[in-house]
Amino acid sequence: MAAPVEKKVTWAALGAYLGSTGLLAILTAVQGDAGLVAPLPEPAEPFALALIPAAITFAAGWKTKYTPRV
């Protein structure tokens, strides 16, 4: 019998999905304008953009209570 999925995992996965989708929507909207990441050095841009979904995932997992195990 499979164990139930913890709420922390569900909310973190949802946060990662929504964060990535939102980031892609923003990048698509400002495709011709590099002002979003212009202050950063060129090699650091992808890493800085990857921090957005990671931060949302961390916050969702940290904020959600764990599922008690019996």
How do residues 12-40 score in pLDDT, each as one tens digit? 888 888 888 888 887 777 776 667 667 87
- Enclosing domain of residue 17: 7-28+37-63
Using pLDDT thresholds of 50, 70 and 90, give the confidence band for residue 70: low
Q: What is the pLDDT, as a whole number, of residue 1? A: 52
Query: Is 49 within the bounds of a domain?
Result: yes
Query: DSSP of 4-57, one letter per residue?
Result: PPPHHHHHHHHHHHHHHHHHHHHHHHTTT-GGGTTTS-GGGHHHHHHHHHHHHH
Angle at 48 between CA 33 and CA 45, to 5 degrees: 50
Give how many domains the chain has, as a whole number.
1
Query: Is 69 within the bounds of a domain?
Result: no
Query: Is 13 within the bounds of a domain?
Result: yes
Query: Is 2 within the bounds of a domain?
Result: no
Could you tell me the CA-to-CA distances from 54 to 1, 3, 4, 33, 45 in Å, in that order? 31, 26, 24, 24, 15
Q: What is the pLDDT, as a whole number, of residue 19? A: 83
Query: Is 23 within the bounds of a domain?
Result: yes
- pTM of structure: 0.61
Query: Is 70 within the bounds of a domain?
Result: no
